[in-house]
Structure 1
Amino acid sequence: MAGKINKKDFKIMTIMTVVYLIIALINLGSFSSPKTGWEPERLNETFVVDFGREVTIDKIMLFGGLGHEWGCFGSLEIEANSDGKFVPYSYIDMKSIFKWHYTTDTVTTDKLRFTNRHLRTDIEHDKNKFYKAEYREIGFFDGDNSIAGFTTTTEPSTVGIEKLFDEQELVPDRPTVLNGTYFDEVYFPRTALEQIEKRDILYENTHPPLGKTILSIGISIFGMNPFGWRIMGTLFGAALIPLMYILAKRLFKDTFWAFFCAYLMMFDFMHFTQTRLATIDSYTVFFIMLMFYFMLDYYDSKSYEQGFFKSLIPLLLSGIFLGLGASTKWIALYGAAGLALLFFISRGYEFNDINNQLKLKINDEDSSKKLKSKELKGWMGKHFYLTCLFCVIFFIIIPVCIYVLSFIPIDYKDNSISLLESVKASVKTMFDYHKGVVEPHPYASPW
């Protein structure tokens, strides 16, 4: 078969994938982030940082962690000592987690007092609501120089402050995409960690859980750091290169065009950027491409030549990847319409092919038209109607089962709700959310 992968194709795919993966892994993200932190148990807890001498501070860095509350956000009010009295200096607002927050207000003092306050926000229904943040690490800077040699004092009831200053070597001089979350990474890595820790409430619930489950593999291996939460998407992004190659080879039956299509994906900046972020889109695209590849495999074959049951294998695999795609993100379901179109077109072509063969057979052997009609009915019964029945299993029943099973990793709550009821409630939540999204997205392309 002209579209079959040979040794030359394998070498080309391997070289392209390795080159891409090397480039993609460079500066993917830090291997380490602060792990311990202080979680205030009540509002207005305070602690004092004593530098033991007068210092000039022009930047304070603060890393936020997950904590044990769903609304793990808050603000730290900072006051500076001036002539024995603490006066207002600055605030650091922690509105998202697993990233570095900062203030660049300048002050010269020997002591700073920090007080845990409600999160400062302009959103009316969030005011005076969040304060149980987890502050994982604080660092002080004078220019590019880190300030060390300080001590802390606290109220007797304030515990755990020492965890704010036990990983000073991890404090960067500025926040970047290499040392914290970026864009929608504020949702998915956090939720993946919550799945790992079996939290009762998952932060991101507007998409099915499979994408976060895959993402959690990287976190489990490399830890809760930028590299850990980005590596799985990067690997899937690299896998899209050979996948595009074999898909194009199947379409164009030519090595050059297979290389050309894979080359375009290899250097496509959207693909490069999106798969190196800890979002779920790279997994979805991977599954969508596979479901179309196997449908194309079925489209190119003749079921009456392969044998009926053998011809069903590509349809089964296509349905499985439809289920995996839908269990990651619902956009995979849009592809089901394309799969159905390809399927029915393939049946039309095969019917026409059978019909033409029977015409030749009748002319050559002077067979009766009844024989032709009988054989066409036989083909319709087995290779169309029965195949359609199997398609109901492959493209409806199996994907639904995969979708339900994808909820098992998060079905650990001790309550009376069954797995099916949990899935049903989740589907309603997702649908209601997306139905209500009418505002333009701030990251939407002007194109």
Structure 2
Amino acid sequence: MRDYTRKMHWREWLFLAVVIILYGIVAFYNLGDPTAPETYAVIDNQSGPLYFEVAEAPASVALYCPVNSSTKYIDITISASSNQMDWSVAFDTDDDSKDYTAAMIWYDYPLSCSGDTRYIRVDKHAASNRLVLAEIGFYNQEGKLIPTKALSPNGGLVLDEPQTISRDSNRMNSAYFDESYFPSSALEMQDGLSVAEMDHPPVGRLIIGLGMDLWGRNPFGFRFMQVFSGILMLPLLYFFGRSLLKSPKWAGMVTLLLALDFMHYTQTRIGTLDAFLVLFILGMYAFMVFYHNSQCLWRRYLFLLLSGVCAGCAIGTKWSGLYAAAGLALLYFFWLFQRIRFAWGIERRAILYECTWCILCFIMIPCLVYGLSYIPYAQTLGRSDFYTVAIEHAKQMLSYHTGTSTNYNHPYSSHWWTWFLALKPVFYYFEPAPANIYLYATGNPIVWGFGLVGSFYALWRGIRRLDDAGIVIAAAYFSQLIPWIFITRDTFLYHYFPMVPFLMLALGYFFQNTCTHPRIVGYRNIFISIYLCAVGISFVVAFPFIYGSGISWETILGIRLAFQISALLFGVLYVGLLLRAYRLKGREIL
């Protein structure tokens, strides 16, 4: 039997190169501004407020804060004076008409200043631990930047990058959705500042920090590693599918489906943790399959080690990686039991050595990765006992995720059963008319619907025939899905993202093993060709709202309806093929 974990034909490399390059161009397109304020001043109880002298009374202020305060938001009070003696409040975030002021977002606020104002004081709220300000600019009634002089020793740090100031906050120059939390906490760990928000383990934040080290503390920098992870998923899924499905053809189809998936595109262009989680979960299963299919001893040991490292990184990114790890453990023990049944003598001794190696790979290595990732976080607390910090933080996270603070009926939250056809998207960004920009995370019903059917088919066929591919797909998909059924906290469509690559594998597995009769396989191949074209067209049609460009809400609703009708139509057509195959082959079609 051909070893699908080894050599590839040059056409396969060409296919992968084309897919990666084209996807990379689209993924990096207008990812974010490469500039943002880098220096900042910290206002706390020791340093006191910042004082400025302005050439004339300001009418508004533009400001940018790179991190949040202990309240997880920005708490700021701006006062005005004509003599540095009598101060009146010109602006306070408590009186802001917006929902909140958060990190890494440009804000433009009106100021209530008298005509003789010449001095400005910027301070934190008394209840906040700090205010970290990166850049500030004062504007007059005509919208011109007012010459400003810093009167405080560290005030110059917020006036030294005026070329970065923007009075228009948008997704290119500012954070959106949860980006106000993860990149800012990555910056806090880099600079040794106290971390305002830490609701997940630190691995993902450290990876975001790597992107900011490479490209700067700007939107492009804190989104770069997510896009890079999304690109890495494509060759990894191809190699995984090639080894699992034993076919370059079906592996290529699966890879194309992921490259054209709406959720994959949107979720790997936002500065959150999910792209890393999905990459590591995909990696842990891929390397486990490589291990199972490889005949070379040192490669088997290496693949187990890499699978364990990915498992540790997944759990260290989000605890939901534990769900996938549970499925991985079931998969390994299933294969182990199969080997032990037919093993004797020397082979059983080799299995014992391998099990000992697995203790290192899947217990010690993940614990080591998880614990070491807490070193930067522990340093922000002034502590060196990072494993103790990890345990204490685990208790805090458990209390948070099981407490009432995660049950607030968020308007974008959705039940797990709505995820299958992406019935309730997650809105990430909106600009009103005339721009009419909508950006939200969703899925393609044309793909996800077939993938769901394929997942149940993989479960059924895997159990019925003890088929490795079906068992792997079912273990990966259902081990992650089932826990969400019992979770009562607010859940969102993006929680389904780690299952999406396995939906693609399930879809490929379903097409590969159904309608294979010689008299009907040609019709199946025509159907799949039309289907892939429809998926590609749907990506182009949906691009405005998965990327974030001008489109009316009515058009979006029409597009979504068209996708749902198309999914139903393709489903009916393939059911027709299945019925025809059943008449030709009987129960052998399954």
User: With structure 2 as the length reference, what TM-score do the two structures score?
Assistant: 0.59
Let me know the Cα RMSD of the aligned residues: 3.7
Deviation at 1:439, TM superposition (A): 0.5
Report which stretch shifted further, 327-336 or 420-429. 420-429
Is residue 172 of structure 1 aligned with residue 166 of structure 2? yes
Cα deviations by residue, 1:17-43 (Å, 9 ceiling, x for unpaired): 111111111111111112345555677
> Which residue does 1:226 correspond to in 2?
219
Q: Give, in whole Å, the separation in 2 of the partners of 1:274 and 1:78.
A: 40
Decide whether aligned partners of structure 1 residues 44 and 313 sit closer, same or farther in structure 2, where only a CA change above 3 A counts. Answer: closer
Q: Give, in whole Å, the separation in 2 of the partners of 1:163 and 1:311.
A: 54
Q: Give, in whole Å, the separation in 2 of the partners of 1:89 and 1:407.
A: 41
Does the CA contact (< 8 Å) of 2:204 and 2:316 recur in 1?
yes
> Which residue does 1:366 correspond to in 2?
none
Is residue 100 of structure 1 aligned with residue 97 of structure 2? no
> Which residue does 1:27 correspond to in 2?
30
Q: Give, in whole Å, the separation in 2 of the partners of 1:45 and 1:409.
A: 29
Deviation at 1:239, TM superposition (A): 0.7
Give the secondary-structure state (helix, strand or coil) at the position aligned to 1:180: coil
Cα deviations by residue, 1:146-183 (Å, 9 ceiling, x for unpaired): 413x34478x7x45545544433222241011112222
Structure 1 gap segments, 5+ residues each: 120-127, 355-375
Decide whether aligned partners of structure 1 residues 273 and 441 sit closer, same or farther in structure 2, where only a CA change above 3 A counts. Answer: farther
Identity %: 28
Q: 2:16 aligns with which of 13, 16, 19?
A: 13
Does the CA contact (< 8 Å) of 1:50 and 1:110 recur in 2?
no
Q: Give, in whole Å, the separation in 2 of the partners of 1:219 and 1:412.
A: 19
Deviation at 1:286, TM superposition (A): 1.1
Is residue 184 of structure 1 aligned with residue 178 of structure 2? yes
Is residue 65 of structure 1 aligned with residue 66 of structure 2? yes
Deviation at 1:291, TM superposition (A): 0.9
Give the secondary-structure state (helix, strand or coil) at the position aligned to 2:266: helix
Decide whether aligned partners of structure 1 residues 193 and 346 sit closer, same or farther in structure 2, where only a CA change above 3 A counts. Answer: same
Decide whether aligned partners of structure 1 residues 413 and 95 sit closer, same or farther in structure 2, where only a CA change above 3 A counts. Answer: closer
Does the CA contact (< 8 Å) of 2:291 and 2:304 recur in 1?
yes
Decide whether aligned partners of structure 1 residues 109 and 265 sit closer, same or farther in structure 2, where only a CA change above 3 A counts. Answer: farther
> Which residue does 2:407 correspond to in 1?
439
Cα deviations by residue, 1:391-428 (Å, 9 ceiling, x for unpaired): 22321122222222323344446967533323322322
Q: Give, in whole Å, the separation in 2 of the partners of 1:310 and 1:378.
A: 22
Does the CA contact (< 8 Å) of 1:79 and 1:87 recur in 2?
yes
Does the CA contact (< 8 Å) of 2:227 and 2:269 recur in 1?
yes
> Which residue does 1:207 correspond to in 2?
200
Q: 2:55 aligns with which of 28, 31, 50?
A: 50
Q: Give, in whole Å, the separation in 2 of the partners of 1:118 and 1:428.
A: 30
Does the CA contact (< 8 Å) of 2:74 and 2:102 recur in 1?
yes
Q: Give, in whole Å, the separation in 2 of the partners of 1:115 and 1:106.
A: 13
Cα deviations by residue, 1:214-259 (Å, 9 ceiling, x for unpaired): 2211212222111111111111111111111111212222222212
Deviation at 1:326, TM superposition (A): 1.8
Q: Give, in whole Å, the separation in 1 of the partners of 2:40 and 2:367.
A: 42
Q: 1:267 aligns with which of 250, 254, 260?
A: 260
Does the CA contact (< 8 Å) of 2:27 and 2:269 recur in 1?
yes
> Which residue does 1:372 correspond to in 2?
none
Deviation at 1:208, TM superposition (A): 2.1
Deviation at 1:311, TM superposition (A): 3.9
Deviation at 1:100, TM superposition (A): 0.9
More strand by share: 1
Decide whether aligned partners of structure 1 residues 253 and 278 sit closer, same or farther in structure 2, where only a CA change above 3 A counts. Answer: same
Give the secondary-structure state (helix, strand or coil) at the position aligned to 2:271: coil
Give the secondary-structure state (helix, strand or coil) at the position aligned to 1:203: coil
Give the secondary-structure state (helix, strand or coil) at the position aligned to 1:262: helix
> Which residue does 2:374 correspond to in 1?
407
Is residue 422 of structure 1 aligned with residue 389 of structure 2? yes
Report which stretch shifted further, 263-272 or 414-423. 414-423
Decide whether aligned partners of structure 1 residues 441 and 267 sit closer, same or farther in structure 2, where only a CA change above 3 A counts. Answer: farther
**Bigger CA radius of gyration:** 1
Q: Give, in whole Å, the separation in 2 of the partners of 1:117 and 1:91.
A: 10
* Higher RCO (Cα < 8 Å, 6 or more apart): 1
Structure 2 gap segments, 5+ residues each: 419-590
How do residues 7-406 of structure 1 correspond to structure 2 at under 5 angstroms? Answer: 7-37=10-40, 39-40=42-43, 47=52, 49-51=54-56, 60-66=61-67, 73-77=74-78, 90-91=91-92, 95-103=101-109, 111=117, 114-116=120-122, 119=125, 128-130=126-128, 132-139=130-137, 146-148=143-145, 150-152=146-148, 158-199=152-193, 201-301=194-294, 306=295, 311-350=300-339, 354=342, 376-378=343-345, 381-382=348-349, 384-406=351-373
Decide whether aligned partners of structure 1 residues 138 and 197 sit closer, same or farther in structure 2, where only a CA change above 3 A counts. Answer: closer
Does the CA contact (< 8 Å) of 1:39 and 1:134 recur in 2?
yes
Decide whether aligned partners of structure 1 residues 45 and 222 sit closer, same or farther in structure 2, where only a CA change above 3 A counts. Answer: closer
Does the CA contact (< 8 Å) of 1:24 and 1:276 recur in 2?
yes
Report which stretch shifted further, 165-174 or 71-80. 71-80
Aligned length: 401
Q: Give, in whole Å, the separation in 1 of the partners of 2:132 and 2:325.
A: 43
